[in-house]
Amino acid sequence: MPRVEEIEGLASFDYTDPTVRGPAFHAALARLRQQGWLAKGPYGYIVLDREAGEHFLRSRDASFPGQALMEIFQVQEGPLREEMRRNILHLNGADHSRLRSLLNPSLSPKAVQRHRPAMRALLQALFGGMVGDAPGGTRISCELVEGLTKPYPAQVIAQVMGAPLSDAPRLHHWSRWIQRQFDAQSMIEQRPAIEAAVAEFYEYADELLAARRSAPGEDLISTLLAAEEQGDRLSEVECVNLVLNVLIGGVDTTQSQLAHALRLFAEHPEQWEMLAREGELAGRAVQETLRFEPVTPFTARIVEREIVFRDVVFAPGTIVMVCAFTGNRDIEGDVPADTFDIAAERPRARLLTFGAGVHYCVGANLAQAELEEALAFLAPRMRNLALTGEPELGTITGIYGLSRLPVSFELAGAG
């Protein structure tokens, strides 16, 4: 059996190329997928179909390359090293299972339901801030990232964590920067800003945890503090880092996915009108957005013990990038996979957008609820949604987001 580095003629794709985004990204990945299930990338190899992606994400012989990142970028001391060393993504075995079990109850499907009324109230306030006192029928022009998709997830996370709502802008700032530790280019060019964000958040978290100790409530931090008090379940340092993990995993990602959803609907107005008429399709709309334009197009794994897959040997130390974008295209159904259609009947297969295996995104239920509430709220109120300029797309490394989404829409009547 050949070792992966011995295979000749593999197609290559540079996912660090800043010009590859939007339609160019879609076209490049479609061509790449036609050439096979495996390709070469700048730091290793890319697996392109869903079965291969699930295999590497679920394998106990591969892990998230947190330790490798510390070595590559020589993160030898300071708050960033502490955060990377303790990030739940980088942990495996008993410690990971224990910490995950402490987060799961607060982020289960049942638990996130109680946050839905707060989500709707936040959306109402943000939407009101965009449209003011304009009467129904008014054509509104606005920029949706700053006006809606950026503040909304940070405000939800503040509510879930038990932080003051007024702290949401700071939570967004820290999430945006700390998340960049997973983007190689950002670690090369912007590492001081990433390190500063980690240090600032640690200082803030100490104060927030102290406040919740003196006045506990029905929030994630109070739940974690209760576990901390039992001593053998959670240390204070672990508690702070779990709070940080929820922050960085639950703000920039949801913001970006909601922005892409609204962009897709502006580009597919018939789908937006269908959602406005049939609000019960909101759940499907979320799943179709997650499938069609995942904001985590690539998820890294490093091989720890030799893996043989499809008669190819992946040696220890090999970096494998799982491509959620092409993997999700393997879920077709009664409508072609390259078609964005919220009414399509597709197999009930788990998307790769949130990963798979023991490191499946712990906040997936919360993110899906936030997205569902947002689309269900906005569709009947924003009629004839249309782009008024080119969306400003980010790069596909790390979190694939948008910095601007200029649109116009006709304001529906009250209700």
pLDDT in tens, 177-203: 998 888 877 888 899 999 999 999 999
| Alpha carbon distance 147, 181 (integer Å) | 26
pLDDT of residue 108: 93
pLDDT of residue 54: 96
Looking at the 3D structure of the chain, how many domains does it have?
1
| Alpha carbon distance 114, 96 (integer Å) | 27
What is the number of other CB atoms lying within 10 angstroms of the CB of residue 114?
10
| Alpha carbon distance 180, 339 (integer Å) | 31
Do residues 58 and 64 lie in contact, with contact meaning Cβ atoms separated by under 8 Å?
Answer: no
Query: Per the structure block, which two tokens stand in for 156?
Result: 């939800």
Distance spanning both ends of the chain, measured CA to CA:
64
Strands 44-47 and 319-323, sheet pairing = parallel
Rounded average pLDDT per 10-residue block, the chain, 415 residues: 94 93 94 96 95 96 86 88 87 88 91 96 97 94 97 96 94 92 85 94 93 90 84 79 89 96 98 97 97 95 96 96 95 86 88 92 95 98 97 92 97 71
pLDDT of residue 231: 58
Q: Specify the long-range contacts of residues 7-11, CB closer than 8 Å, at least 24 apart.
A: 7/38, 7/312, 10/36, 10/38, 10/39, 10/40, 10/45, 11/35, 11/36, 11/39, 11/40
Domain region containing 325: 4-411
Provide the CATH number for the domain around residue 348: 1.10.630.10
Q: Which residues pair with 62 in a beta bridge?
A: 303
Question: Considering all CA atoms of the chain, what is the largest pairwise distance in Å, rounded to the nearest integer?
Answer: 69
